[in-house]
Amino acid sequence: MRRRDKERRGNIITHAVLALFSLYIALPPLWVLRTSFVPESTAYSIAILPGFTLDNYVKLLVKDKFWLAYADSLTAATVSTLLALPLGAMAGYAFARYRTGGQVSRFVILATQMLPPVAIVLPVFTLFRTFDLTNSVSGLVIAYAALNLPFLTWILMGFFEGVPVELEWAAMVDGATVWRAFWKIVLPVSLPGLAAAAVLGFILAWNEFLFALVLTGPTTATIPVSLAALQSQNGVQIAEVSAGVVLGVVPLLIASRFIQNYLVRGLTFGAIK
Amino acid sequence: MNTRTLTTMLGGASLATLMMASGPARAEDITLHALMEDVPETHIIEAMLPDFTKQTGIKVEFQKLVYSDMHQKLVTQLIGNASYYNVLEVDFLWAGEFPEAGWLADLQPFVDKTGFDLKPFIPSMMDLVGNHKGKLYMIPMYNYSMGVVYRTDLLEDPKLKDAYKTETGKDLAFPQSLAEYVEISKFMSKHAGNGVVGAAMQSQRGDPNSMEFSNYLFSNGGRYLDDSGKVALNSPEAVKALELYVDNIKNGAQKGALSATLDDTSRLMCDGKAWSMVTYWWMLPQMDNKDACPNVAGKVAVGVMPGGHGESGGWGWGIPKNESPELQDAAWKFISWVQGKEASITRAMQGHAPTRSDVYSDAGVLAKYPYYKQALDVVASGEPFPVFTYSAQYEDVLGRQLSLAGSGDAKPADAIKAAADGLDELLKKSQ
Amino acid sequence: MTAEAAIEAPKPRRQRDRWRATGWKFAAPGLSMIAIVMGFPLIYALLLSISSFTLLHPRLQPFIGLENFRTVMADEYFWHSVWITIKYSAVTVAGEFLLGLAIALVLNRVVRLKAVYFAILTIPMAMSPVSVGLVWHMLLQPNLGIINRLLDASGIGGIDWMGDPNLAFWTVVFVDVWQQVSFVILILAAGLASLPKEPYEAAEVDGAGEVQQFWYLTLPMLRPVAAIAIVIQLINETRTYDLVYVLTRGGPGIATDLLSYFAYRRAFLGLSISEGASVSFVLLLMVLALTVVFFRLVTRRA
């Protein structure tokens, strides 16, 4: 009896904490959602809905061709992540199990991440222009895959280090090669890590600005570039920006269910014999 | 790999790019690309582009971007040997940098070849963006010279008039000097009521406060450079101007002025929450608009910065130097068309801020926008922010000092001295 | 007991070489991609930092060695930026980690509504830093923003979030943490979800309380994942640029003048790409040092 009460009390506190935190996170976006549906001139009003309009969305999608930026962002983020994930998993595995390259290389690959983008934006632009990869989504895909690979490698390295090596030994004793052990045993167990890495890769690419600005042209711009263009000399078109932000959040919201499933599944896989 | 190999590789890469990019262009094929700021001026011209294509067969494509990202994107293109953009829209802040870097073609040959008439262009604009070190590099496109947009109804309010007479012994009217302006501004904050402040100020560090302060500086008789080009900023007039600037921030401006930009001040003014704002003169039509700003439409006017001189600002058209002659000719055709009298008047009828004096005095334009008369005064009397290679960086250096003074972290005299030293340093660097 | 990390290299040389080769075979594709696409620009950037490349003189030569570094370090504002950046990174990462860990722990316990909480968490992550800046600028606008309007209406009075020199720094920190904490929660939650159950069952049997379980089981087992989360965030936070650009432009005064904004200004306003590059490399060295030290400290084998 006492245990159940204690549990219930714990439950209430738990949900209270989470509810508060959710408000802290969600209230600003809710205000953004509201602002996306009001006319620009009343955007700063204190009223909840001083006039309802779909003009911001229409203007954004039709006049500012936001849908194009949307498609470009989706492509760049998805493809670059799909490209980087297997490469990152393999490299992370090498670092975790084989200490490939020693202590040095794991930090060296992070070097590109540690530089403010402003330092390498000109060199990257020069390099990509040589191969005619500017003003194209493929160029951006390659750039993002290479840019995010170090972080993905690190995250997966961390997860692999947490996987008991006995699992692979058991598989290899049964006659599997290291390769098979990796793909059939280690990866499935590390699904939470892979999910987290995939999400990270997608988000980094989705939100990246400087490289997109420099490497894309008018038809290949991504969402951040497109939204940044809404700051004009006359001021910020905040209602339109709000609409753009709302639209930009949708893919991840949809994917959150997917992410969460894999993290939850990790619970059962985490039970090691 | 050693330096020689690396530079050879890079040289080879650049050469390859150059060869890929250049090549003969037939007249029918020509499409001009321009990187433009995403503002109404651009939209006005964009709507007229089909006429140009009909007249000349040349297509023009605009890519629009926000100001802060334009410079980067332009520079990355211009550094290489073949810029994607064939017509350049250049802000006055870069009007020293671009010619010095060798990116702009000399326009005099084009002017001579086609007999383009430069006389109608307002001298202050030609000084600002057109000429650099004696050569013609750009044709002025539109201006954003600054003056004061203010509420006439508050000046005419009898209660306020009485209160002002009682407090100062003077009549409440449009101020004639900088000190008077700040005095009225502080007065309004105290007495106008309804949460109205004297001045909506854009004192954020960088471009906003540099531009704003320049008006204070000029109207108090201060200057950045003397006639021979030497730094003349460190003067008693400048220190006084900064003292008044800081005074206005503390006692006449809205809360949060130190982080405010044009976006903030225009919303405030439009809402009716400020008596004045030192800003671009063409903010007036935006305020005087029944649909956009019902609270203040019909109650606002524009005037030259009290003291007689505001800050000049504007954009110009340029042509990249490293471009095929055919493309350059096509670019010149576009520039001379869009800045010709006819197109300029058409643009003005839709709210364009002209750089030609004949447009300001055109009967049709004046009939639609009677305040263009004041606007011409504002533009003609404007003085320039120092235009040289490092203008943009100086805005940041100056902005930092102004912001430090505004927050009380530096004394005005020290801030002016530091700003003057900073200007001197950058000028020396650009020699 | 807890899982072990790397397999030990076998002793006989031939086997060890084969073992090493396997490692390299795994790592090769990823490392090659990084080397080709990012390695060249990185080396070029390093050359830039010791060159005299400016936008007016876009050539690497003459190489001037450490001259750029000397010039930059002679600027008093540079050191201020360094200090502000260190302070900023420490505060944001600490905030994100502590808050993130707390929420991840709580989130790990619930079953119902988990999907809802997750969905909410993803929202800030899906907004680019520029958008986050613009949105929070709207919310925190001192005269018109909804937060100050509510404060005014409730009698407390509006606050000058971005214009008060003493407050601006913390405002930017607050916004940054707001955006980044979701990501930390995600990583830590995934880490928590991967922890094996046996140790906890054993501990329950032994009568260990919740706090003890947390301190002696959860924390140690979570160390590798936590370390990575912190390292990644450290690297991200030191590079913060867009937020500063949109919210305060480094002001008021120099209150929020972060190093990567400083580098940007040197490169694109000062037109000295080489100086911008040298500032960037100073930042890199700083972060590299912090990362190595921190990582070594935290991932000592249990």
Residues of A in contact with B67 (CB under 8 A): 231-233
Cross-chain residue pair C23–A94, CB shorter than 8 Å: yes
Say what percent of chain A tops pLDDT 70. Answer: 92
- Per-residue pLDDT reduced to its tens digit, C203-225: 888 887 878 888 888 888 888 78
**Between A248 and A230, whose confidence is greater?**
A248
Residues of C in contact with A215 (CB under 8 A): none
Say what percent of chain B tops pLDDT 70. Answer: 94
In this prediction, residue B225 has a pLDDT band, given cuts at 50, 70 and 90, of very high
Q: Identify the CA nearest to B323 among candidates B110, B141, B94.
A: B110
Rounded distance between C-alpha atoms, residue C104 and residue C110, angstroms: 10
Q: Are B338 and B322 in contact (CB under 8 A)?
A: no
Rounded distance between C-alpha atoms, residue C276 and residue C259, angstroms: 10
Q: Are A145 and A83 in contact (CB under 8 A)?
A: yes
- Per-residue pLDDT reduced to its tens digit, B180-195: 999 999 999 999 888 8
In this prediction, residue C7 has a pLDDT band, given cuts at 50, 70 and 90, of low
Mean pLDDT (chain B) is 88
Q: How far is CA C241 from CA A94, A272, B180, C134, C256, in A?
A: 33, 43, 40, 13, 10
Mutate which: C36, C40, C55, vs B, most B CBs within 10 A: C55
CATH superfamily assigned to domain B146-311+388-430: Periplasmic binding protein-like II (3.40.190.10)
Q: How far is CA A59 from CA A36, A99, A242, in A?
A: 11, 53, 12
In this prediction, residue B22 has a pLDDT band, given cuts at 50, 70 and 90, of very low
Q: DSSP per residue over B140-151, as a string?
A: EEEE--EEEEEE
Cross-chain residue pair A233–B266, CB shorter than 8 Å: no
Output the six-digit token pair for A140.
């951006």
What is the average pLDDT across C18-47? Answer: 86
Residue B35 has pLDDT above 90, yes or no: yes
List B140's β-bridge partners, or say none: B316
* ω into C224 cis (within 30 of 0): no
Please report the domains of chain C, with CATH numbers, ordered by start residue. 76-298 (1.10.3720.10)
Tell me the HSE value of B404 on the side-chain side, using a 13 A CA sphere. 20
Residue C43: per-residue pLDDT: 87
Q: What distance, in Å, lies between the first and last C-alpha atoms of chain A?
A: 33
Residue A232: per-residue pLDDT: 64
Q: Are B198 and B276 in contact (CB under 8 A)?
A: yes
- Per-residue pLDDT reduced to its tens digit, C171-186: 999 999 999 999 899 8
Q: Are C169 and C90 in contact (CB under 8 A)?
A: no
Q: How far is CA B54 from CA B49, B227, B338, in A?
A: 9, 46, 14
Residue B2 has pLDDT above 60, yes or no: no
Mutate which: A114, A231, A254, A269, vs C, most C CBs within 10 A: A114
ipTM: 0.80
| Domain spanning B25-144+313-380, CATH class | alpha beta
Residue C1: per-residue pLDDT: 26
Residue A234: per-residue pLDDT: 59
What is the average pLDDT across A233-243? Answer: 80
Q: How far is CA A14 from CA A175, C186, C215, in A?
A: 47, 18, 19
Q: Min CA distance, A73 vs chain B (Å)?
A: 18
What is the average pLDDT across B52-79? Answer: 86
In this prediction, residue A269 has a pLDDT band, given cuts at 50, 70 and 90, of very low
Residue B251: per-residue pLDDT: 94
Residue A263: per-residue pLDDT: 56
**Between A144 and A191, whose confidence is greater?**
A144
**Least confident residue range of B325-334, B388-397, C52-61:** C52-61
What is the average pLDDT across C196-201? Answer: 83
Residues of A in contact with B263 (CB under 8 A): 231, 234-236
Rounded distance between C-alpha atoms, residue A211 and residue A128, angstroms: 11
**Between B85 and A135, whose confidence is greater?**
B85
Residue A266: per-residue pLDDT: 42
What is the average pLDDT across B64-77? Answer: 81
Rounded distance between C-alpha atoms, residue C30 and residue A146, angstroms: 8
Q: Min CA distance, C89 vs chain B (Å)?
A: 23
Q: Which residue in chain C is spatially nearest to B395 when comparing CA positions?
A: C269
Residue A23: per-residue pLDDT: 92
Rounded distance between C-alpha atoms, residue A186 and residue B168, angstroms: 83
Residue B85 has pLDDT above 70, yes or no: yes
Equal CATH topology for B25-144+313-380 and B146-311+388-430: yes
- The CATH architecture to which A65-229 belongs is Orthogonal Bundle (1.10)
For chain A, which chains pass the contact test of at least 3 CB pairs under 8 Å? Answer: B, C
Residue B254 has pLDDT above 70, yes or no: yes
Q: Which residue in chain B is spatially nearest to C44 when comparing CA positions?
A: B6
Is residue C153 within 8 angstroms of chain B, CB to CB? no
- Per-residue pLDDT reduced to its tens digit, C50-90: 888 877 777 777 888 888 888 888 888 899 999 999 999 99
Cross-chain residue pair B393–C270, CB shorter than 8 Å: yes
Output the six-digit token pair for C238.
């030191």
Is residue C250 within 8 angstroms of chain B, CB to CB? yes
The dihedral built from the CA positions of residue B124, B402, B184 and B180, taken in this order, carries a sign that is negative
Q: Min CA distance, C82 vs chain A (Å)?
A: 14
Rounded distance between C-alpha atoms, residue B108 and residue B127, angstroms: 15
Cross-chain residue pair B205–C168, CB shorter than 8 Å: no
Is residue C228 within 8 angstroms of chain A, CB to CB? yes
Output the six-digit token pair for B393.
């960086």
What is the average pLDDT across B151-173? Answer: 92
Residue B349 has pLDDT above 50, yes or no: yes
Residue A49 has pLDDT above 90, yes or no: no
Residue B320 has pLDDT above 70, yes or no: yes
Residue B28: per-residue pLDDT: 59
Q: Min CA distance, A162 vs chain C (Å)?
A: 6
Domain layout of chain B by residue ranges: 25-144+313-380, 146-311+388-430
